[in-house]
Structure 1
Amino acid sequence: MSHHSEDPERLQDPDFLSKSALLFKLRDLRALKVNFRSTMNEKDVIPDRNVDFPREYVISNLHRAELEKRDFDLNRLSNNDVKAFVNTLHTIVMNAGIDIGTSESHTDSLVADLLFCVLAFHKWPLTVALHPTYKFAVGEVVVSAKADFVISNQTYFVLVVEDKHLVNVRPTNDYGEPQVLAEMLACGEENIRLARRSYNMIMFSVRVISTYVTFYRTTINKEYWDELGDGCPRQQSLTIFRWPGNSSDPFEGFDLAEPDGRRSVLEALCKIRHYLLNSD
């Protein structure tokens, strides 16, 4: 059904929303007046910071073509932490399109390695919660969302979503972007619950599908939260910026199997980390 033929009253009725982030679809985006927008400007999504990042993981001569080789030799690398990271990358690339379940569990491991070991996101005052379940309300309707990794500085969250929970990773569902929205709103409502008031907040999200990484950022205004409390928004809307890429296609994201992709992802995550450590 095209959205031109949808009953506008149904779009404004929260009872027709999907009740779980896993089931969120493009129709739910329209009901919540949310638009994903690509940007070519990194600063629309990533905080403008001068940061150092772990350059030893870039490995300028390591490309996807080498990671695809079964006889890839890890011993060419001297750093054991880098070896562990590259070994997981190698496994994901080798299994791409073959064993989905295995590939997803390895992507989970890769994201965990990035957050815990490579970039120290789980270092006070930052904390990483694994698979927390949060909820948000649209009027009287409650939507639940189980995120994979939620990083907090006790106020802000950056949400990392990997393909293990992106059930609807298909072009017809914008490769899981509706789920990204639902998890942003659920984490945002958790912020509001802790603060005991609604307020303007910046939210970040990172989508990792196989080795491809896309970053998202939005500012959710107090007025949007207030309308959400009464039901589907009537006046307020929400724009989520996507970087890089011209569409939701994960292949337009940064590829961790390539040096430039690793550099871009490491640098962007370090900038977000710096932002989280220096914002109240």
Structure 2
Amino acid sequence: MSNGENSEHLDDPDFLSDYVSSFGPQDVRSLRVNFRPGINAQEVIPYHIPPNRVIIPQEYVLQGVNRALLQNENINIAQLSPNNYVKSFIKKLHEVILSARANTGTNESLTDALVAHILYRVFDFDQWPLGINPHPRLKFMVGPDVSLTVIPEFVVKCQNYILLDKHLHNTAIGPTNNYGEPQIAGEILACANENVHEARIPYDVTVFVARVISTYVTFYRTTIKKEYWNELADGCPLDKSITVARWPVSSDPVNGFDLAEPNRRQAVLDALCRIYIVISEYQP
């Protein structure tokens, strides 16, 4: 564990920060977690599902609602949709965009509300056999003595996981901390560890991640092999590793899918629908 002088331990394979929220590139190296661009969208998003099974709520696509409109402080939301739930969604998008224009970055509660609407209203991720757990306190062990705790924003629990990770202070997210990906690595391990702990035996765990920063969404996918868990039980792995694929390919959130733009919004809805089908129908 850290003694507070992180710079002296950047090359120490057993060094970890005291908190997942403080994770940086050195922690990812110690845990042997590698982020890389997806080879293609199919590597991250389950496009093998037949198109006739992918039913997204078209009322949320809103071809006429784009960033230029949502930046208008005097937007008349009541005229944009006959559906009251969709109006609420537009209002939340509008508030996030206006908040992001301030120097302090996006307000935490506004992004919470936007993500919650997608989880509960657009797709019912809280319907059996799934279940939404907001702000769960999760932990994972590195060796017998080091315990790390993490509190993700939203976790959808099943045999597989979808972890929706929201970075609140988007003004503090940048290339020096790999746009928050080191923290995502810790959250992936904590969520997957929960499944392994419940199963009482190490096994391969697949984790889907949707990182939401302001209105920008990036998807991640990884499978943690049981051999990795076996090594982690002894300390930082020396041989086994985890590869996390990312789509779209850039780690910069502004190159992700923008919920404020109709075509990109449809891409997010399509991806979430496919992930919903995969994890809700998973059979161990």
Shift of 1:19: 2.6
Cα distance in 2 for residues equivalent to 1:262 and 1:100: 25
Instruction: Indicate the residue corresponding to 1:144 in structure 2.
Output: 149
Q: How does 1:82-93 map to 2 (within 5 A)?
A: 82-93=86-97
Q: How does 1:160-239 map to 2 (within 5 A)?
A: 160-164=164-168, 169-239=173-243
Cα distance in 2 for residues equivalent to 1:102 and 1:262: 19
Shift of 1:97: 3.2
Q: Structure 1 pair 89/226, CA: closer, same or farther in 2 (3 Å)?
A: same
Q: Structure 1 pair 73/166, CA: closer, same or farther in 2 (3 Å)?
A: closer
| TM-score, normalising length: structure 2 | 0.91
| TM-score, normalising length: structure 1 | 0.92
Aligned alpha-carbon RMSD (Å): 1.9
Shift of 1:70: 1.1
2:71 corresponds, among 39, 47, 68, to 68
Q: Determine if contact 1:18/1:143 at 8 Å carries over to the other structure.
A: no
Residues paired across the two proteins, number = 271
2:134 corresponds, among 103, 126, 130, to 130
User: How big is each residue's C-alpha offset from its partner over 1:44-67, in whole Å with a ceiling of 9 and x where there is no partner?
Assistant: 011122311111100112110010
Shift of 1:100: 3.5
Shift of 1:169: 1.6
Q: Which moved more, 1:71-80 or 1:219-228?
A: 71-80
Runs of 4+, deviation exceeding 3 Å: 5-8, 99-102, 165-168
User: How big is each residue's C-alpha offset from its partner over 1:99-122, in whole Å with a ceiling of 9 and x where there is no partner?
Assistant: 636632211100000001111111
* Structure 2 unmatched runs, 5+: 1-7
User: How big is each residue's C-alpha offset from its partner over 1:152-189, in whole Å with a ceiling of 9 and x where there is no partner?
Assistant: 12x22110011227795222001111111100100111
- Whether 1:21 aligns to 2:20 is yes
Paired residue secondary structure (1:117): helix
Q: Determine if contact 2:106/2:168 at 8 Å carries over to the other structure.
A: no
Q: Determine if contact 1:21/1:146 at 8 Å carries over to the other structure.
A: no
Q: Structure 1 pair 41/32, CA: closer, same or farther in 2 (3 Å)?
A: same
* Structure 1 unmatched runs, 5+: none
- Whether 1:266 aligns to 2:269 is yes
Q: Structure 1 pair 148/118, CA: closer, same or farther in 2 (3 Å)?
A: same
- Percent identity at matched positions? 46
Paired residue secondary structure (2:107): helix
Cα distance in 1 for residues equivalent to 2:106 and 2:30: 35
Cα distance in 2 for residues equivalent to 1:272 and 1:121: 10
Paired residue secondary structure (2:65): coil
Q: Which moved more, 1:169-178 or 1:33-42?
A: 33-42
Q: Structure 1 pair 263/41, CA: closer, same or farther in 2 (3 Å)?
A: same
* Structure 2 letter corresponding to 1:149: F
Q: Which moved more, 1:250-259 or 1:47-56?
A: 47-56
